[in-house]
Amino acid sequence: MTTHTETPPRPQVPKRTEELDEVVIRFAGDSGDGMQLAGMQFTNETAVAGTDLATLPDFPAEIRAPAGTLFGVSGFQVNFSSHDIFTPGDNPDVLVMMNPAALKVNLRDLKPGGIIIADTAEFTENNLKKAGFATSPLEDGSLAKYQVFPVDITQMTLRAVEGLNLNTKVASRCKNFYALGLTSWLFTRPIDPTIRWIEGRFKKTPELVDANIRALKAGYHFGETAEMFAVQYEVKPARLVPGKYRNITGNSATALGFIAAAERAGLPLFLGSYPITPASDVLHEVASYKNFNVYTFQAEDEIAAVGAALGAAYGGAIGICTTSGPGMLLKQEMINLAVMVELPLIIADIQRAGPSTGMPTKTEQADLLMAIYGRASESPVVVLAPATPGECFFMAFEAVRLAAKYMVPVIYMSDGYLANGAEPWKIPKVSELPQIDVQFRTSPEGFQPYLRDPETLARAWVKPGTPGLEHRIGGLAKEDVTGHVSYDPINNEKMVRLRAEKVARVAMDIPRTDVRGDPSGKLLVIGWGSTYGALVEATERVRAQGKSVSHVHLRYLNPLPPDLKEIIRRFERVLVPELNTGQLLKIIRAEYLVDAKGMNKIQGYPFKVGELMQKIQELLEE
Amino acid sequence: MTTHTETPPRPQVPKRTEELDEVVIRFAGDSGDGMQLAGMQFTNETAVAGTDLATLPDFPAEIRAPAGTLFGVSGFQVNFSSHDIFTPGDNPDVLVMMNPAALKVNLRDLKPGGIIIADTAEFTENNLKKAGFATSPLEDGSLAKYQVFPVDITQMTLRAVEGLNLNTKVASRCKNFYALGLTSWLFTRPIDPTIRWIEGRFKKTPELVDANIRALKAGYHFGETAEMFAVQYEVKPARLVPGKYRNITGNSATALGFIAAAERAGLPLFLGSYPITPASDVLHEVASYKNFNVYTFQAEDEIAAVGAALGAAYGGAIGICTTSGPGMLLKQEMINLAVMVELPLIIADIQRAGPSTGMPTKTEQADLLMAIYGRASESPVVVLAPATPGECFFMAFEAVRLAAKYMVPVIYMSDGYLANGAEPWKIPKVSELPQIDVQFRTSPEGFQPYLRDPETLARAWVKPGTPGLEHRIGGLAKEDVTGHVSYDPINNEKMVRLRAEKVARVAMDIPRTDVRGDPSGKLLVIGWGSTYGALVEATERVRAQGKSVSHVHLRYLNPLPPDLKEIIRRFERVLVPELNTGQLLKIIRAEYLVDAKGMNKIQGYPFKVGELMQKIQELLEE
Amino acid sequence: MSQAATPMLKLTRKDFMSDQEVRWCPGCGDYAILAQMQKVLPELGIPRDQLVFVSGIGCASRFPYYMNTYGFHTIHGRAPAIATGLKISRPELHVWVVTGDGDGLSIGGNHLIHALRRNVDIKILLFNNRIYGLTKGQYSPTSELGKVTKSTPFGSLDYPINPIEIALGAEATFVARSVDVETKHLQETLRRAHEHKGSAFIEILQNCNVFNDGAWEPITDRATKGDHQLVLEQGKPLVFGKNREKGIRLGKDMNPEIVTLGEGVDTSQLLVHDETNPSMAYILSRLGPQFPTPIGVFRAVKRMTYDEGANAQIESAKKRLGPGDLEAILNRGDTWVVK
Amino acid sequence: MSQAATPMLKLTRKDFMSDQEVRWCPGCGDYAILAQMQKVLPELGIPRDQLVFVSGIGCASRFPYYMNTYGFHTIHGRAPAIATGLKISRPELHVWVVTGDGDGLSIGGNHLIHALRRNVDIKILLFNNRIYGLTKGQYSPTSELGKVTKSTPFGSLDYPINPIEIALGAEATFVARSVDVETKHLQETLRRAHEHKGSAFIEILQNCNVFNDGAWEPITDRATKGDHQLVLEQGKPLVFGKNREKGIRLGKDMNPEIVTLGEGVDTSQLLVHDETNPSMAYILSRLGPQFPTPIGVFRAVKRMTYDEGANAQIESAKKRLGPGDLEAILNRGDTWVVK
Ligand SMILES: Cc1ncc(C[n+]2csc(CCOP(=O)(O)OP(=O)(O)O)c2C)c(N)n1
Ligand SMILES: Cc1ncc(C[n+]2csc(CCOP(=O)(O)OP(=O)(O)O)c2C)c(N)n1
Ligand code: SF4
Ligand code: SF4
Ligand SMILES: [Mg+2]
Ligand SMILES: [Mg+2]
């Protein structure tokens, strides 16, 4: 443990503490300023302090865009509260801005009367110009309606680490921790988790441990002592369901979900992947668990990645691949083969904004129709989507379970917002996770490769290496039961329908659909995937106004929950908000012949609760 | 011209001639027996004789499967008639069978009382066994309800070519022409076109010219002289629309349509392709026209094929690629790039039965949803489908025209049945084909890469090499007008909607929808693609029974014809027959909220008129 | 699996023949290759269930259907990727890949190279008939320049790929060539591939009598093969010719030259084949048209295999960190308890 | 196009800089490469509008945005295919491809090989930083064995691809290597590529200071580069070393060896570089770790280009058959008239 006594004790100015129910803070600066880190650490602090929370990281596609530019601004928003919350918040209460460009980009979102903490050192003429400010907003009175705290963060940081023999470049890189320290003080968050994190992260370079902790503490103490800050805010712990919690991002939860499922199936996990934003972190995390029975294979491309996963599945492993939109397109031919040979295969599509390269670091949920229909010929697969970062764990687990149970490919659809967003997660007990019961066929007695389980229609999973069960599979049309190559017309139709029926039977595994709000009424809002939080909050608030709106959130997109039809019937109108131009909407309309309306946003960002409420209210008033 | 006097003149038995309105003949034998050729030549003969016709080639995926096996049987069905016909016929009137396996496979389809011509030489014990016959059906009385003509075709062929110094293997390969000659006599078809064809085809091997012509004539004369044949049949010419005709397959028409369009645009054609059944013949045919401004590029895979086509389009050529289902999946990422950079690109998907490798030589129309929705994110393209082999020409032409006019990718969807099927085609005059008016931008005055034509929303097509217009394009999200890389949320949504709107505006180019039958009534049948013929015939026949059924056939699948909504409203019920599990059906239901029903067949074969009639009658009676 | 429990009966060629009728064209070179494989396997003493044949799409790729072992007929060009996933996770299996010149070098070229450079312990047989058979006769990446085919009626324009050279360029650890009709040589080469630990690549010259008949005639015809075949044997000088009267020597600037033995030249001046010498393999791989075609093993060297490495990594991580504890990783990082 | 009409103003480096702010990380080697390109182009006398830069995806592939020429930033790995279509149909344009070690050798490996073997007249620059930059630091096909990265926390298991060797294996007609910071050498190499008629492949060693800093340090560092760089010059003996005191000689079995000049060894015994000698290029491409890294042109030979061939084929067909007559082909075969 490193201790610091370098900061001289200062006279304590008496401070007032105000209690708040919910606060939204956005950190922003250059891509190189470490804002993602600051945001993540703040998140962790407030998680440990027991609040509920939700986050929205927002970074450019450039690795380190030139300093001071508008397109180089990297931001991280965190919402924390003493009550249940579901979104990172529409508009921040606080902006922690490391330069003029950050302020320029983020100011429009700040709530009236909101707080701005700005690093004055960066408000140079040059930087102001790059950001398109004629004069400094910190000085020209344009920020009058906000509470502005100008702090020379850079200078203070340098001073804090003085004597550690760091060059200025390295030293000033600690300023994100200074800003974090200050913010932590302002909102009475504990900084110990961050100190522990710094110690772990920089283990090999003790001078950086020292420097960063000093900067953190200096920021914290500055808040304590500087007269500028008269009020300190407190957000009380939320009354979450009792249990042990940690903070988790969607990608982390996805990785753990896959590992947990393979463990519960007692099978090795084979993850074939080709790096792509925002999916890569799943590969990174899984790769770090090599002491499990985990193979990670960074392939030469997405085709090889899914091919290797299918090869591993054929060999009896849990075969998974992770990718995003452009990579998904390359996998479809192999998924079609998996459909034909009826092997379990899990394909995780962490959706991003497109089409084509699009906005790789931004979110969207526009791959749904591609996942369901994007293969040549009739090629049914199971499609699932988690609704929150923590839920990624359970749906990833479920994807593996269903794939193995039905011998079918499962597409698991997360997105950029879930992937990088975080929330407190009630850690499940391993013993409470379902067992995944895989029975490899070993008996040659009456064996036929396409004999089916009468209930699930799954064919048997046979591991090569099993004596007496030698057989051949492939992508040509196959005869029922024997699996021999067959061009018989009637047989072909039969097999097409059997494959469809097998996927349809997954409906047996879908839990009853939960309707939030009244079971019948005026308006039903149907959502899927990462819009969950915003939809919950919007519908709850409108309901709180005494209006009739309920909410159903789909985790099973193909097949659809069998009770959905009945639920829809009980409402006068249906609204389907999506971060696309109306994909689930098309399915709902075709399936249930209901004149459902879409609400659509294709901006690379999640819905805001406000805009959803407005749309819902409009529909209710029509 | 070769002449033969070797066949001794025989006494003419007086023969009766019966006139028939329509005849369906199926030729079948081993893959190596030349049945496709015999069928095609018969088709040509009857075409030249002025009948209407339709064909259905049906061959195995194996190149030359072992002789005598059931899976090695290759067949070719031709329907010809003195009235308009639209399908190759549900059931043959005549089977020309080269071996027992062929008879086994095809007998179930023969009409009661139908004619069987069989090569007795091949009905050996061994062959009978391979085909699963215990005794010879030619002798055991099992064919009593048919008119059976057992002919020793092999022996007679060998005799006909005696003295030409051919070895038996080569000599007996002529037996398809013997069979053709006999059939031609039986149905009074002229054999001159076939003689001309043989002369052209075997130019370099005069002995084969001789041998094949001798075999052909020997067959013809055998019919004339043999007492076995008491009746000769005649089918009078059909009263087709006046004009000059030829016989054409869908693949040939597609190739010519692309070439014609490039010529009418005054631009070079660049066809990038990777061989795949049943699309390869389009590449083959286009490649033979190198004296046009035609580049054909056989790429290393489908991705490179479409990439090269896009590169050529970027350079100012008509960039086209041709493929089938499995290859389509590999092109989607590149099509997404084309959507983003807004360049014209034509992708021809000659659909085949799937999924995966499936039944490569069989037909299906199950790639529709994949074509429309199979790309990541929001990626609208134009989707067209021809309805008959001859129409392939015009729709291929239209695909090029729309791509260039709207600067948009166009997917053109033919299928295995259209590709290889043939029909008489009224040859268009070049001067009557639309001019395709491409204006490359050359003026730097006010140039911006994403400035749009206010009517079509097309951006300007600029050829690299144009001074002063240097600019950069790519797959990242782009700013409206300037095309600069932009991650602005509002701009992104704007661009997504602009791209969608551009495709929507193609509706301006869609001709009024033709309703066959009453403009309103009880049942509307909606079809698309190659089912046209069967649907026309089925609906006409049911209408002839005085029932209320009309038929609309869609050539424009995305966008849909703007008047379709109105048309659908005028009918009580809607039926959507498709060779898939209900793909257009989903779109119709979602779009028009009409409780349309599907009729679906996924057997690798086209609809039969009878089965369609039955379904239509059922629906009308419900 | 219960391999140990399987009584090790001596298997015969018949045991490796599946119940499926072979569907290649009569006279196709593929028959001969199938036969040699079925003859060699019984001698290797591997139970049938431990063998997996993975293929892509093409005539060649129908191979697995005819082998009474495990088999997977996959999609065009991707067999090496699928085989890689299988072998990594099931290192005890014997995994063979069957591909064609189109499947392996056109659409699948990249997977082939990457499998080879990774040295995944799979055996890759590339049936080279210099044509696309299954799609009825378009030119392939190994077709000679100017080839007239259905898709190139005016002649092809691209310089052919040399499969051996590409495999060497990818630093494959075992690279060989054999011929469909050279039964003994082919058997021996298959055996060598099996014995090699690591990726083995064998180009098998194969005749497609329907679409490219006689492509390899000079090398396979009794009358000419003496002059056109150069049989590589480890440690032996490069001698060829009907009467083994010719040899190959290294001339100026590392250019090989043909010499006639006897005229003041004896075998001691000839190049001596060394499967471990990379330059040797390279020079042999690109002998010009005036030279005989080498068959045999060009290169055979040892290197860690990917599958070994991957499995060793897991074992060592388990040793170092203890076997994976799911409960522990779920609870990793800062946690707190809500009561 | 109206190339002749463009007044041939003498262009400067500035003319080739686009109005887009360069978005690479400060200190990235890509800046230096961009600068050299912008310096060389004005000297080649090509109007800007005749130049097209086509790239894939990756940090390197942002290159076209910064060039004030035509530019196409395409999709991952496919730039050679797109450039091929462009060049075939517009042979008068100067087409450059910019790719990275991931873009060009991982997902795009096959297109690269096929473009090279076809000898399409495009210039391919592969920026090799031995890492995936844009996706934030996973190992690439050129990363050294055992590389610890985000995706390989326990070290990578695959043997790296040698880009020069692969290009040679594909029989590329021009193969060279240069270095981001060797400004003169890089300029000269770019010029040579431009002058070469046919596919030109240049591997450019490039530093990614964020994710793989110092990957090429021995070769670029003033203090060590004398011993670690071997500059290839046509017709010159292979000499290197701080004081040019060392040389490379061909030892036994075609194995190269390092010798010190002076000690009874003079340059006449050294290998003399010959860009047209394939064995030479091959041996140089795979000098082991104890050898210096060659930079310069490994191979430069002439062969028909694909684009030439494709266009000549059209011209000759027109000559032989007359220019295409649409009416005639529509009316081909048997026709009949219905009245
Ligand atoms: C994605 C895809 N593209 C194209 C095809 C069509 N196709 C099947 S096999 C083949 C080439 C076969 O050539 P080769 O690999 O040389 O095998 P051969 O038939 O000669 O043994 C092609 C192009 C396919 N099945 N899938
Ligand atoms: C189909 C597809 N797969 C994956 C990606 C993600 N991706 C973008 S660049 C890249 C690798 C970049 O590495 P390299 O080519 O070495 O370029 P560098 O950034 O190092 O210059 C990857 C994997 C993508 N854009 N598209
Ligand atoms: S087409 Fe050629 S390669 Fe294919 S089975 Fe027939 S002979 Fe063999
Ligand atoms: S990540 Fe590396 S390669 Fe990419 S711009 Fe930064 S320094 Fe350059
Ligand atoms: Mg082949
Ligand atoms: Mg790189």
Question: What pLDDT band is residue B24 in, cutting at 50, 70 and 90?
Answer: very high
Q: Are B326 and C141 in contact (CB < 8 Å)?
A: no
Maximum C-alpha span of chain B: 90
Confidence of residue B227 (pLDDT cuts 50, 70, 90): confident
pLDDT for C4 equals: 44
Give the separation between CA A238 and CA A424, rounded to whole angstroms. 11
How near does any CA of chain C get to the CA of B169, in Å? Answer: 13
Strand boundaries in chain D, DSSP class E: 51-55, 70-73, 94-100, 122-128, 174-179, 200-205, 229-231, 239-240, 246-250, 256-260, 293-300, 335-338
- Rounded distance, CA B560 to CA B565, Å? 9
Residues from chain C contacting residue D171 (CB–CB below 8 Å)? 159, 161-162, 165
Strand B94-97 to B115-119 pairing? parallel
Do residues A223 and A251 both lie within one domain? no
pLDDT over 90 (residue D330): yes
Distance CA D26, CA A63 (A): 10
Q: In this structure, are B272 and B414 located in the same domain?
A: yes
Task: Work out the number of other CB atoms within 10 angstroms of the CB of residue D245.
Answer: 14
Which of C103, C203, C206, C207 should be mutated for ligand 1, with most atoms under 8 A from CB? Answer: C103
A607: pLDDT strictly greater than 80? yes
Distance of CA C61 to the CA centre of its chain: 13
Quick one: pLDDT band at residue C10, thresholds 50, 70, 90? confident
CATH number of the domain residue B542 falls in = 3.40.50.920
Ligand 1 atom 23, closest CA? B275
Residues of B in contact with D52 (CB under 8 A): 464
Q: Identify the pLDDT of residue A4.
A: 40
**What average pLDDT does the segment C264-293 reach?**
94
Dist. CA B563–CA B512, nearest whole Å? 7
CB A368 within 8 A of CB A413: yes
Q: How far is CA B26 from CA A152, B42, B47, in A?
A: 90, 11, 16
- The answer to whether residue C1 sits within a structural domain is no
Looking at the structure, do residues D297 and D192 belong to the same domain, yes or no? yes
Alpha helix (H) residue ranges in A342-383: 368-373
Q: What is the CATH number of the domain that holds D290?
A: 3.40.50.970
Q: Taking 60 as the threshold, does the pLDDT of residue C8 lie above it? A: no
**Does residue C302 form part of some domain?**
yes
CA distance C242 to chain A (A): 44
Nearest CA to ligand 3 atom 5: C24
Distance of residue A129 Cα from the nearest chain D Cα, in angstroms: 15
Greatest Cα-to-Cα distance within chain A, rounded to the nearest angstrom: 90
- Decide if A352 is inside a domain: yes
Residue D257 and residue D220 in one domain: no
CA distance D300 to chain B (A): 25
pTM beyond 0.80: the answer is yes
D55 and D26 together in one domain: yes
| Residue-wise DSSP of C102-171 | HIIIIITHHHHHHHHHHT-S-EEEEEE-SSBTTTTSB--TTSPTT--BTTBTT---SPPP-HHHHHHHTT
Q: Mean pLDDT across chain D, nearest whole number? A: 95
Q: Considering CB atoms only, which of A300, A314, A465 is closest to C72?
A: A314
Residues 6 or more apart whose Cβ sits within 8 Å of residue A386: A250, A253, A254, A392, A394, A395, A396, A412, A414, A418, A529, A555
Give φ, ψ of B512 to 5 degrees.
-55, 140
The pLDDT of D244-256, averaged and rounded, is 92
Q: Do D155 and C313 touch (CB under 8 A)?
A: yes
**Residue A325 sits in the same domain as residue A384:** yes
Q: Report if residue A210 sits inside a domain.
A: yes
pLDDT at B455 over 60: yes
> Which amino acid, residue A374?
G
Dist CA A480 CA A448 (whole Å): 10
Structure tokens at C280: 């040797």
Residues of A in contact with B376 (CB under 8 A): 324-326, 328-329, 351, 354-355, 366-367, 370
Quick one: C262 and C286 in the same domain? no
**Lining residues, ligand 3, CB within 6 Å:** B 63-64; C 24-25, 28, 30, 59, 129, 133, 208-211
| CA C224/CA A92 separation, integer angstroms | 84
Residues of A within 8 A of C332 (CB-CB) are: 246
Q: Does C95 map to a domain? A: yes
Same domain, C268 and C138: no
Task: Name which of B243, B241, B293 is nearest B266 in CA terms.
Answer: B293
Enumerate the residues of chain B whose CB falls inside 8 A of the CB of residue C25.
Answer: 62-64
Please state, for a pLDDT cut of 90, what percent of chain A lies above it: 93
Residue D96 placed within a domain = yes
The answer to the question of residue A180 being in a domain is yes
pLDDT at B13: 55
pLDDT at site C9: 64
Which A residues in the span 576-605 are in contact with C, Cβ-Cβ below 8 Å? none
Neighboring chain C residues of B65 at a CB cutoff of 8 Å: 23
Question: What band does D9 get if pLDDT is binned at 50, 70 and 90?
Answer: low
Contact B298 C151 (CB under 8 A): yes
- Are both D265 and D294 inside the same structural domain? no
d(CA A28, CA A36): 8
Same domain, C133 and C149: yes
Any atom of ligand 1 within 6 Å of the Cβ of C134: yes
Question: Is residue D88 predicted with pLDDT exceeding 80?
Answer: yes
| Ligand 1 close to Cβ of residue B358 (< 6 A) | no
In chain B, the number of structural domains is 3
Asked if C173 and C68 sit in the same domain, the reply is: yes
Identity of the residue numbered A605: Y
Give the C-alpha separation, B223 to B576, whole Å.
Answer: 46
Distance CA A49, CA A233 (A): 13
- Contact at 8 Å (CB) between A507 and A386? no
Write the DSSP assignment of B535-553 as a string of letters: HHHHHHHHHHTT--EEEEE
Question: Percent of chain B scored above 90 by pLDDT?
Answer: 92
For the segment B181-209, the average pLDDT, to the nearest whole number, is 94
What is the spatial distance between Cα D337 and Cα C243, in angstroms, rounded to a whole number?
Answer: 69
Averaged over B465-493, what is the pLDDT?
97
Q: Are C85 and A307 contacting, i.e. CB atoms less than 8 angstroms apart?
A: yes
Domain assignment present for residue C136? The answer is yes
**Ligand 4 within 6 A of CB of D25:** yes
Lowest mean pLDDT of B399-403, B405-409, D4-8, D30-34, name the range. D4-8
Is the pLDDT at B575 greater than 60? The verdict is yes
How many helices and strands (H and E) does chain B possess? 20, 23
Residue to test with chain A: of D151, D152, D158, D211, most A Cβ within 10 A: D151
Tell whether A145 and A43 lie within a shared domain: yes
Pair D246, D291 in one domain = no
| A64 found inside a domain | yes
* Residue A314 sits in the same domain as residue A292: yes
Decide: helix, strand or coil at residue B314.
helix
Confidence band for A16, pLDDT divided at 50, 70 and 90: confident
Read off the pLDDT band of B3 (50, 70, 90): very low
Rounded CA separation D287/D284 (Å): 6
My answer on whether A82 and A213 are in the same domain is: yes
**B27 and B165 together in one domain:** yes
In chain C, how long is the greatest CA-to-CA distance?
Answer: 98
Nearest CB neighbour to B427, from listed D1, D52, D330: D330
B166 plus B279 within the same structural domain? no
Q: Are residues D77 and D44 in the same domain?
A: yes
Instruction: Count the residues in chain B.
Output: 622
Residue pair A105/A83 in contact (Cβ under 8 Å)? The answer is: no
Domain assignment of residue B26, given as a range: 16-235
Residue A327's CATH number: 3.40.50.970
- Among protein residues, the one whose CA lies closest to atom 26 of ligand 1: C76
pLDDT at B2 over 60: no
Determine the Cα–Cα distance for residues B381 and B330; give it in Å rounded to an integer. Answer: 16
With CA atoms as reference, report the closest residue to A489 among B585, B540, B56: B56
CA–CA distances in Å: residue B508 to residues B396, B404, B406, B504, B562: 18, 15, 11, 8, 8
Binary contact (D169, C165; C-beta < 8 A):
yes
Residue A14: pLDDT over 90: no
Question: For D210-229, what is each residue's pLDDT tens digit?
Answer: 999 999 999 999 999 999 99
Touching partners of B (3+ C-beta pairs < 8 Å): A, C, D
Residues B423 and B533 in one domain: no
Cβ–Cβ under 8 Å, residues C294 and C163: no
The pLDDT of residue C2: 39
Which among B181, B193, B194, B190 has a CA at the least distance from the CA of B237? Answer: B190
Domain assignment present for A75: yes
Find, among B91, B138, B142, B104, the residue nearest to B118 by Cα. B138
Q: Rounded to a whole number, what is the distance in Å from the CA of D51 to chain B's nearest CA?
A: 7
Nearest-angstrom CA–CA distance, C23 and C13 = 19
Q: Among A190, A210, A235, identify where a domain stops.
A: A235
CA dihedral D282, D283, D289, D290 (to 10 degrees): -160
- Neighbouring subunits of C (3+ Cβ pairs under 8 A): A, B, D
Tokens describing residue D330: 């529509």
Closest residue by Cα to residue B353 from A335, A306, A478, C106: A478
Residues D303 and D267 in one domain: no
In a domain, B498, yes or no: no
Q: What is the pLDDT of residues A512-547, one digit of tens each?
A: 999 999 999 999 999 999 999 999 999 999 999 999
Q: What was the pLDDT predicted at A9?
A: 46
Residue C58 CB: number of other CB atoms within 10 A? 27
pLDDT above 60 (res B579)? yes
Tell me which chains share at least 3 CB pairs under 8 Å with chain A: B, C, D
What is the side-by-side strand order in the sheet with C70-73?
A472-474, C70-73, C51-55, C94-100, C123-128, C200-205, C174-179, C293-300, C229-231
| Complete DSSP assignment for D164-222 | HHHHHHTT-SEEEEEETT-HHHHHHHHHHHHHSSS-EEEEEE---TTTSTTTTHHHH-H
**CATH number for the domain that contains residue A52:** 3.40.920.10
D89 with D148, same domain: the answer is yes
Instruction: Report the C-alpha gap between D91 and D313 in whole angstroms.
Output: 13
What pLDDT, on the 0 to 100 scale, is given for residue D3?
A: 44
Cβ of residue A114 lying under 6 Å from some atom of ligand 2: no
Side chain identity at B150, as an amino acid letter?
Answer: P
Domain count, chain C: 2
- Split at pLDDT 50, 70, 90, the class of B12 is low
Contact A270, A312 (CB under 8 A): yes
| Residue pLDDT, tens place only, A437-455 | 999 999 999 999 999 999 9
What is the value of ipTM here, to two decimals? Answer: 0.95
What pLDDT digit, counting tens, does each position of C79-108 carry? Answer: 999 999 999 999 999 999 999 999 999 999
Q: Is residue D7 in a domain? A: no
Check pLDDT > 60 for residue B450.
Answer: yes
Q: Would you say residue A349 lies in a domain?
A: yes
Whether residue D329 lies inside any domain: the answer is no
Domain residue limits at C259:
237-272
Alpha-carbon gap, residue A209 to A153, rounded angstroms: 19
As given in the structure block, the two tokens for residue A620 are 């209710």
User: Mind listing the pLDDT tens digit for each residue in B332-364?
Assistant: 999 999 999 999 999 999 999 999 999 999 999
Domain boundary among B402, B432, B462: B432
Q: Would you say residue B1 has pLDDT above 70?
A: no
Note whether B77 and B212 are same-domain residues: yes
- Whether residue B88 contacts residue B54, with contact meaning beta carbons closer than 8 Å, is answered with yes
Q: Are B339 and A359 within 8 A, CB to CB?
A: no
Residues B534 and B569 in one domain: yes
Separation in Å, CA B32 to CA B56, B178, B201, C57, C61: 18, 15, 18, 22, 21
Which H or E run includes D85?
helix D79-89
In a domain, A466, yes or no: no
pLDDT tens sequence across A72-101? 999 999 999 999 999 999 999 999 999 999
Confidence band (pLDDT; 50, 70, 90) for A15? confident
Q: Dump pLDDT digits (tens) for B282-292.
A: 999 999 999 99
User: What b/e readout covers B322-349, taking b as 16+ CB neighbours within 10 angstroms?
Assistant: bbbbbbbbbbbbbbbbbbbbbbbbbbbb
Residue among A378, A490, A501, A589 with most chain B CBs within 10 A, to mutate: A378
Taking all residues of chain B, what is their mean pLDDT, rounded to a whole number? 95
Q: Crossing angle of helices D79-89/D306-321, nearest 10°?
A: 30
Residues 6+ apart with CB under 8 A from C225: C218, C219
Q: Does A287 touch chain C (CB under 8 A)?
A: no
How high is the mean pLDDT of chain C? 95
Of the residues A432, A466, A498, the one at which a domain ends: A432
User: Is residue C94 in some structural domain?
Assistant: yes
- Point out the ligand nearest to the CA of residue C26: 3
Mean pLDDT of A470-474: 98
What distance in Å separates the CA atoms of residue A125 and residue A131, rounded to the nearest whole number?
A: 10
Does residue A396 register a pLDDT over 60? yes
For residue C6, pLDDT over 80 is answered with no
Query: Between helices D79-89 and D109-118, what is the axis angle to 10°?
Result: 30
Looking at the structure, do residues B202 and B322 belong to the same domain, yes or no? no
Please tell me what DSSP assigns to residue A516.
E
